[in-house]
Structure 1
Amino acid sequence: MPVFTRLRRPARTTAPPRTAAPARTAGENPRGQGHPSPPRGEEPAEPRGEGEAAPEKPVLRAFRLLRSLRTRCARLRDEHPRAARAVRWTLHGLAAVLVLGALLLPNQAGALRPGRFTRIPAEAIVGAVLLLALPRRPRIAAAALYGTGLAVLTVLNVLDIGFNEYLGRSFNVVLDWGLLDDARHYVEDSMGGAAATAAGAGAVLLALLLVVVMALAAVRLGELLARHRARAARGALVAGTVWITCTALGLQVAGVPVASDRAAAALKTQGKRVRDTLRDEAAFERVARTDPFAGTPSDRLLPGLRGKDVLITFIESYGRTALEDPVIAPGVTGTLDAATGSLAGAGFTARSGWLTSSTFGGSSWLGHSTALSGLWIDNQQRYRTATASDRLTLTEAFGRTGAWDTVGVMPGVQKGWPEAEWYGLDTVYDAFGMGYRGPKFSWSTMPDQYALEAFQRLEHGRRRDGGKNLMAEIILTSSHQPWAPVPEMVGWDELGDGSVFGPIRRAGRQPGDIMADTTESRREYGRSVEYSVTALTQWLERYGTDDTVLVFLGDHQPIARVSGVRASRDVPVTVVARDPEVLEQIADWNWTEGLRPDRDAPVWRMDAFRDRFLKAYGSVPHPAGD
């Protein structure tokens, strides 16, 4: 019989009684001489109590929470298997919709139709085959990268939609990022700083969220394919066969090909756009250096306009649409015809034609620089290259003669504007330099009528030293989008400091009232052009003299939502003067009499205007070095 012995714990010893610690002098450390006490005035670290755990690091705390969440989810799946299966397949379906939608998303708003999303994307078939061939870890990495790429492509497609809708062209990944900041400033000026901040922050968050969600969706689909490898492989084979057959036969449904390679084509287009942009920089720089008037002596520049005050005025968004659209044209053409008659009564005659602008819907500075430099400046890269060059601008040509003072009236400029030197402007009046104390009208800092009256007070109406004449570049901004609220004409003697416009601004419509309504946007755009033309022609009738020559033109067409996605880039251009010799010198241009050009009046590219204008008024071409 086995003998069991009882193990007994050793007897507990009694600890010696605790004795009071001896008194310490200041600075003595009770733990020993090797550990000095903290300096006087510094709070010692609070000792951790007996058995108290160290503070948990945030990363460990997050990891613990995630693990707890996974445990709870697993418990819920076990407790509710049917609901868990429904949720799982719902997530699978949403992931598939998200990925397929990104692969088939077009880059134009007009193409956003349900039929575009019922096609078979080749990129999905190729992606499925690739994921099926990879082991688990490389498969997860490849799926996440695939989803991230789709998110980036989706962002580019959305930017293309926005740029095509507003500027009539696609987004350029090399040049156009700076325009997003301009868009933020436009929203801030039109709808306030809070709206601009919210829109900018929302756009960034949505883009980041899209990247995360798209990557997770691709990983989920990759894991689903791996769990059903045999069936997924057969499905990929069938889908590939159908895609090849549809491509070979050119099968279409409602005019849309069944087989799609939309994502691959979009990437190819973006790559070509980048390559062409980089090549264009060097080519344009060579063109900018070739100037037929670079070496023309000052006494042989613009002799046909000596003794005249010349005003070159751009009217914002004044395009061909304003004269031909059935909703817009009646009011605008009526205003032009009435102004033609009023000016004729004051002794002025006019000739009008068309110019094809280098920009559309926005980026007004590209149109201004194209018309005045004789270079086709249709993107920001070309603009930077041109303004850094020695190219002779039309405004600088007046100043180079020594016979004109050159002035810029720029109510839209609200920060430093170094381009003034390239334009050859001696004096520039920006948004803060004309004494305006009235309200802004959306983006426009002041009504055109006030800007013109300020120009009269500050420059045109004063006697010039040395017998010089005046050349002015004037930018009128009241017809800038969003065309709400639109100013109204007041008595010229009532303008004062602009406070008179306060009640008009308060009674006007808000941008939000018309921005989502195409028809209302067209109507209000037409009203804004009528206002700008009326202000300019009334100013000329009121203050113009026998020596005043007015050239006014549009810088670009309004946005595609107003003018249409296939609208031309043509803008009206007009020359007005009392002196008949001024118009006789451009008789061979065959322009239409009056302020309204005929539909079939001559159309030139905007970059041809500088050279034609210089030659018409006696300038002699003389390239540098000749």
Structure 2
Amino acid sequence: MSQVTDQLPDTEKDEEEDRTEEVAERPGLFRWRVRYPRTARGVTVGTTVLAGVLVLCALVLPNRVERLTFDAFFRIPAEGVLIAGLLLSVPARARRIIAVVTGVLLGLLSVLKFLDMGFYQVLARPFDLVLDWILLDDAAEFVRETYGRTSEILAVIGVVLLVVLVVAATTLATVRVTNLMTRHRPVAARTTLILGTAWITCVTLGVQFTDVPLASKINADYVNKRVDQVQAGLKDGEIFRKQAAVDAFAKTPPDQLLTGLRGKDVLFTFIESYGRVAIDDPAMAEQTDSVLTEGTERLEKAGFAARSGWLKSPVTGAGSWLAHSTFLSGLWIKNQQRYRSLTTSDRATLNSYFRKTGAWDTVGIVPGVRRAWPEGKFFALDRIYDSEHLGYHGPYFSWTPVPDQFSLEAFERLEHGKKDRDPIMAEIILASSHNPWSPIARMIDWEDLGDGSVFHQIKEEGTDPKEVWKDSEKVRAEYANAIEYSLRSLVEYMERYGDEDTVLVFLGDHQPVPTVTQGSRSRDVPISIVAKDPKVLERVEDWGWTEGLKPAEDAPEWPMNTFRDRFMTAYGPDGGR
């Protein structure tokens, strides 16, 4: 120790010797500092440097994965300069309090940014502080269904520990940097002044490092946007209530509703994650085009015709129930708050208007539902068949409880194939194209479906999602395969069971996750109407939709919430005229 202290000024020697004597008196762990002074000093310096780096990273951390580049961290944060100036100008007690509060806030902001990263990767939008907490339960459920209960528990524990670790680390790091600034106040004051001057200069001159401004106020902008988001979320409820109160068909007599479809079985079928990317993306276009072209030809041979267009979904990546309720209710259901408001209201949906006529039984085929679904009552479904009531005794395919082909066969067995029945309006959810698209079922002979046990072998032959998700191109390939399976299931069902009185409306609910869309901001999904009776399609000729199952690139694009009223108008007494 004498070799170290001899190199210091007298006053610093005395302080160092006092600290040494104090440490020497401490028990256990602290004695190593006396025995190994050079190592202790190295650890102290290293820890302080790491603390400084951590604070800087927290100050300039972006909230999107694709922005995690070197140049994103090569910036002067205005918040850091201001906080440093504040810490140097207040008394010791206030300084300690400010340092701790600043560290906690930096940690919480970092956690929120990590949440944003995850939401952007799945939903192509940031986390909503007011409305999105319930989605964390859905995320845990998805992990359980895809990777197992153990993985879910480990993931939840890991997330909790990560949150605690991040907040604790940023707090300790901020306190340590504050103590360093206090011990070297003159140097810290000059450095703060220089950085502040540099920040103002960079803003004035527009200095950039690569394409990123050198002067940053990322956290101030981020917090400001979040405040605006929270305020908008709080006001959204009142806006939505006013929109929901307007319904063009609320006073229409039952005998004047949907007269152009009387006697028909109308099947509204959602294909999970069937988005525009499946048709437009060059890597998938050829495969999907082949399926749609072949499907159009096969349906034409069976006597069917089709028209197709585009709808803009309120969501992307996930949130199927929001898209379904938007389509059926004629309202823009973009968040969970709106969904809850809708399903606790008396707003009429397509389903309830069909039931209101007294001319249709309403049926739901919802294999993705695996627990109580009180919303089913709101959607006016007389009978609901969830994953436990379709007669399926095969395996899950990751998240997907029932393969699409089996769901459609079950619908035929349970409802559509019955004799002497009333016309049916069915809401059918096809879930095989749900993320993670691995493993995927494949088409088999309809006569071999049985109770679904045959799918055990098919699942064993499929891919492993943990391996697929190591490579984004494999993910995209499996997504295309899953969409192909869903489309083939539907086409073959119509060939096999469709008749003169069958009208099929099928559509995607939303685009897949950004891993598949690769940054596309489009929220378009394809929609098609298939019927054998030419009078059905004559009613929508003025829509300008494309002939066949594949919508043209320039086919009309409507917001999804406008479909309900357009459809009911087209099939009303005036036939849309």
Q: If the TM-score is normalised by the length of the shorter chain, which range does it land in?
A: over 0.9
Provide the rounded CA distance (Å) in 2 between the counterparts of 1:293 and 1:160: 40
> Secondary structure of the residue that 1:474 maps to in structure 2?
strand
> Secondary structure of the residue that 1:550 maps to in structure 2?
strand
Provide the rounded CA distance (Å) in 2 between the counterparts of 1:196 and 1:70: 44
Provide the rounded CA distance (Å) in 1 between the counterparts of 2:25 and 2:415: 73
Q: Which amino acid in 1 is paired with 2:405?
A: Q
Conserved? CA contact 1:151–1:210, under 8 Å? yes
Conserved? CA contact 2:24–2:31, under 8 Å? no
Q: Which amino acid in 2 is paired with 1:528?
A: A
Q: Which amino acid in 1 is paired with 2:375?
A: E
> Secondary structure of the residue that 1:314 maps to in structure 2?
strand
Higher deviation after alignment, 428-437 or 456-465: 456-465
465, 473, 482: which is aligned to 2:436?
A: 482
556, 559, 562: which is aligned to 1:608?
A: 562
Cα 1:127–1:583, aligned 2, differ >3 Å: closer, same or farther? same
Provide the rounded CA distance (Å) in 1 between the counterparts of 2:25 and 2:338: 55
> Secondary structure of the residue that 2:486 maps to in structure 1?
helix
Structure 2 residue aligned with 1:80: 36
Provide the rounded CA distance (Å) in 2 between the counterparts of 1:507 and 1:225: 62
* Pairs within 5 Å for 1:76-115: 76-115=32-71
Shift of 1:112: 0.9
Higher deviation after alignment, 109-118 or 130-139: 130-139
Quick check: 1:399 aligned with 2:348? Answer: no
> Secondary structure of the residue that 2:243 maps to in structure 1?
helix
Provide the rounded CA distance (Å) in 1 between the counterparts of 2:573 and 2:182: 76
Quick check: 1:339 aligned with 2:256? Answer: no
Higher deviation after alignment, 381-390 or 580-589: 381-390
* Pairs within 5 Å for 1:337-486: 337-465=293-421, 468-486=422-440
* Pairs within 5 Å for 1:24-43: none
> Secondary structure of the residue that 2:283 maps to in structure 1?
coil
Shift of 1:70: 5.0
Q: Which amino acid in 2 is paired with 1:378?
A: K
Provide the rounded CA distance (Å) in 2 between the counterparts of 1:99 and 1:351: 57
Provide the rounded CA distance (Å) in 2 between the counterparts of 1:464 and 1:119: 74
> Secondary structure of the residue that 1:153 maps to in structure 2?
helix
Quick check: 1:224 aligned with 2:180? Answer: yes
Shift of 1:440: 0.6
Cα 1:245–1:435, aligned 2, differ >3 Å: closer, same or farther? same
Q: Which amino acid in 2 is paired with 1:394?
A: L
Conserved? CA contact 1:335–1:533, under 8 Å? yes
Provide the rounded CA distance (Å) in 2 between the counterparts of 1:453 and 1:270: 48
Q: Deviations over 1:7-65 (max 9, x none)?
A: xxxxxxxxxxxxxxxxxxxxxxxxxxxxxxxxxxxxxxxxxxxxxxxxxxxxxxxxxxx
Structure 1 residue aligned with 2:114: 158
499, 521, 526: which is aligned to 1:567?
A: 521
Conserved? CA contact 1:351–1:575, under 8 Å? yes
Quick check: 1:507 aligned with 2:507? Answer: no
235, 246, 255: which is aligned to 1:279?
A: 235
Quick check: 1:176 aligned with 2:176? Answer: no
Structure 1 residue aligned with 2:90: 134
Shift of 1:620: 7.8
Provide the rounded CA distance (Å) in 2 between the counterparts of 1:68 and 1:574: 80
Cα 1:613–1:359, aligned 2, differ >3 Å: closer, same or farther? same
> Secondary structure of the residue that 1:499 maps to in structure 2?
coil
Structure 2 residue aligned with 1:556: 510
Higher deviation after alignment, 137-146 or 401-410: 137-146
> Secondary structure of the residue that 2:110 maps to in structure 1?
helix
Structure 2 residue aligned with 1:264: 220
Q: Which amino acid in 2 is paired with 1:371?
A: F
Q: CA RMSD in A?
A: 1.4
Provide the rounded CA distance (Å) in 2 between the counterparts of 1:488 and 1:392: 37
Provide the rounded CA distance (Å) in 1 between the counterparts of 2:52 and 2:301: 71
> Secondary structure of the residue that 2:308 maps to in structure 1?
strand
Structure 2 residue aligned with 1:35: none
Q: Deviations over 1:482-522 (max 9, x none)?
A: 00001011110010000011111011001111113111011
Provide the rounded CA distance (Å) in 1 between the counterparts of 2:131 and 2:69: 30
* Pairs within 5 Å for 1:575-590: 575-590=529-544
Provide the rounded CA distance (Å) in 2 between the counterparts of 1:261 and 1:100: 12
Q: Deviations over 1:502-556 (max 9, x none)?
A: 1110110011111131110110000000000000110010000100000000000
Cα 1:464–1:158, aligned 2, differ >3 Å: closer, same or farther? farther
Shift of 1:81: 2.2
Provide the rounded CA distance (Å) in 1 between the counterparts of 2:135 and 2:95: 38
Q: Deviations over 1:45-95 (max 9, x none)?
A: xxxxxxxxxxxxxxxxxxxxxx99954454322332222111111111111
437, 448, 472: which is aligned to 1:518?
A: 472
Quick check: 1:187 aligned with 2:143? Answer: yes
> Secondary structure of the residue that 1:441 maps to in structure 2?
coil
Structure 1 residue aligned with 2:18: none
Cα 1:68–1:473, aligned 2, differ >3 Å: closer, same or farther? farther
246, 249, 270: which is aligned to 1:314?
A: 270
Q: Deviations over 1:559-605 (max 9, x none)?
A: 01101223300000000000000000000001000000111111000
Shift of 1:170: 0.9
Conserved? CA contact 2:106–2:170, under 8 Å? yes
Q: Which amino acid in 2 is paired with 1:276?
A: A
Structure 1 residue aligned with 2:281: 325
Q: Which amino acid in 2 is paired with 1:455?
A: F
Shift of 1:265: 1.0
Which sections of structure 1, spanning at least 5 residues, go unmatched?
1-66, 622-626
Cα 1:451–1:265, aligned 2, differ >3 Å: closer, same or farther? same
Conserved? CA contact 1:485–1:509, under 8 Å? yes
Conserved? CA contact 2:369–2:387, under 8 Å? yes
Quick check: 1:537 aligned with 2:537? Answer: no
Say which structure is richer in helix: 2
Quick check: 1:253 aligned with 2:209? Answer: yes
* Pairs within 5 Å for 1:283-302: 283-302=239-258
Provide the rounded CA distance (Å) in 2 between the counterparts of 1:464 and 1:598: 40
Provide the rounded CA distance (Å) in 2 between the counterparts of 1:525 and 1:74: 57
Q: Which amino acid in 2 is paired with 1:133?
A: S
Q: Deviations over 1:318-341 (max 9, x none)?
A: 000000111112111101100110
Provide the rounded CA distance (Å) in 2 between the counterparts of 1:314 and 1:608: 17
Q: Which amino acid in 1 is paired with 2:221?
A: A
Structure 1 residue aligned with 2:155: 199
Which sections of structure 2, spanning at least 5 residues, go unmatched?
1-22
Cα 1:433–1:259, aligned 2, differ >3 Å: closer, same or farther? same
Provide the rounded CA distance (Å) in 2 between the counterparts of 1:514 and 1:336: 26
> Secondary structure of the residue that 1:406 maps to in structure 2?
strand
Cα 1:507–1:71, aligned 2, differ >3 Å: closer, same or farther? same
Cα 1:389–1:443, aligned 2, differ >3 Å: closer, same or farther? same
Report percent identity of matched pairs.
51
Provide the rounded CA distance (Å) in 1 between the counterparts of 2:326 and 2:518: 23
Conserved? CA contact 2:60–2:77, under 8 Å? yes
Provide the rounded CA distance (Å) in 1 between the counterparts of 2:87 and 2:281: 53
TM-score, with length taken from structure 2: 0.94
Shift of 1:610: 0.2
Provide the rounded CA distance (Å) in 2 between the counterparts of 1:326 and 1:162: 26
